[in-house]
Amino acid sequence: MPSRTTSEFTLDPPEAERLANLSGPFDGHLRMIELRLGVEIGNRGNAFRVVGPPPAVNKTERLLRDLWKDAAQETLSEPAIHLRLAELGADEFVNADIEPQEVAIRVKRGTIRGRGANQAKYLHAIATHDVNFGIGPAGTGKTFLAVASAVEALNEERVQRLVLVRPAVEAGEKLGFLPGDLAQKVDPYLRPLYDALYEMLGVEKVVKLLEKNVIEIAPLAYMRGRTLNDAYVILDEAQNTSIEQMKMFLTRIGYGSTAVVTGDLTQIDLPKHQKSGLRDALDVLHEVSGISFTFFEARDVVRHPLVARIVMAYDARDANDTATGPA
């Protein structure tokens, strides 16, 4: 268990408007700092108390004092707080030695928490990183939790819109010949994302937000040339992206945005000679600071118990085939 320390200090002079600017809407700025630095921040007015690992506590106090000075002269925003955390080297403190704080997501259906260690780690990673990968078998909650996090961010006005992306691999070049508008063409491929949205927001609200373009759906190919600021972007079924598509998607991310990439490397539908963009991203980005990777296993499946046993049976077969080689 890592050592913990407490720092108590007062930010002067006491000004209510300045304190609200520092804390952010619903204390959102303080929550971001807590999650990124692995500390707990409490305050009564301008009297603050920070608890956590000593290096993180020291940096948190220094950051809050600097932000207090800035709050007197400018309106603080989430992108500004994010940049200050990046300058501070916040990602150094998010490692295996720090116990992930529980992240509770509040949506229409109630409060959602991670089931098991990997889901808890996944939610904490999404809250503390701008780019996140969730990789593992079907039924482990990768997409559901990503959509829940996105809905909460939209409800709390931390982002301006949701962008849901999925590669339409099966249709290939035939996509343009399907009847209907863009949404209708890609609808079959985005159905799991719709289902999660309906459960979080209700059908009527989802329809209204789609009409207002607050929620946008798009096949991956249509993302080229865009930059997404203040958006929550989810790329689902990422195992079916090409290397070029994955690079293109990851470079669309702008300020104030969060990206979550989900996929299952055991269900790649690409031609056998083509390397998955998701697999390539794991090789290329595994040491890049600021990107999180959460790997789910069969034991994390939260669907019918039989699903977990099915996944484990296929995993055992594949492991045996790898060990014995082709027949």
Determine the pLDDT at residue 174. 47
- Please tell me whether residues 206 and 138 are part of one structural domain: yes
Give the HSE-up count for residue 51: Cα atoms under 13 Å, Cβ half-sphere: 4
Give the chain's count of helices (H) and strands (E): 11, 11
10 Å CB burial of residue 284 (0-12, 13-18, 19+) is middle
Does a structural domain hold residue 251? yes
Determine the pLDDT at residue 107. 65
- Please tell me whether residues 190 and 308 are part of one structural domain: yes
Beta-sheet strands, E only, within the chain: 5-10, 40-44, 47-52, 105-107, 110-112, 131-135, 161-166, 215-219, 231-235, 258-263, 291-295
Does a structural domain hold residue 115? yes
Question: Cα 135 to chain center, whole Å?
Answer: 12
Determine the pLDDT at residue 325. 63
Count of domains in the chain? Answer: 2
Rounded Cα distance between 172 and 273, Å, is: 16
What's the domain range around 86?
Answer: 5-93
**Ordered per-residue pLDDT tens for the chain, 327 residues:** 457 899 999 999 989 999 999 999 888 899 888 887 888 999 999 999 999 888 889 999 999 999 999 999 999 987 788 778 777 766 555 544 445 556 667 666 667 777 778 888 898 888 888 899 999 988 888 988 999 899 888 888 888 999 998 886 553 444 455 566 655 666 666 777 788 888 888 889 999 999 999 998 878 877 888 888 889 999 999 999 999 999 999 998 888 889 999 999 988 888 888 999 999 999 999 888 889 999 998 777 766 667 667 877 887 887 777 666 655
Determine the pLDDT at residue 263. 93
Among candidate residues 45, 60, 93, the one where a domain is terminated: 93
The CATH number linked to 57 is: 3.30.1370.10
The CATH number linked to 267 is: 3.40.50.300
